[in-house]
Amino acid sequence: MSLPERINVIRSITYSTESIVDSIRTVLDDPHHNPEIDEVLEFIEDWVAEDMSAPLSRHDLVYQDENGEEL
């Protein structure tokens, strides 16, 4: 196998939508609130910032060549 022209390294973090919705409902003290995707994304912004500043874990990284193929 020849070396790729470029290697993209992507930090991947997965959040459970169900857990986020539960957290939003708790914060709002409304167990029946059904948030839209924009509200969910806004809610996790702080989590993303915190997770991105945490030390790297090999399990959080995806290595791809210039064609998007995982290495």
The per-residue b/e assignment along 2-30, b for 16 or more CB within 10 angstroms, e otherwise, is eeeeeeeeeeeeeeeeeebbebbeeeeee
CB contact at 8 A, 24 and 33: yes
Mean pLDDT per 10-residue run, the chain (71 residues)? 89 91 96 96 91 84 91 90
CA distances from 20 to 9, 12, 30, 63, 70 (A): 26, 17, 14, 27, 29
Residue 59 burial (CB count, 10 A): 7
Report the pLDDT value the prediction gives residue 46, as an integer from 0 to 100.
Answer: 86
Full-model pTM: 0.67
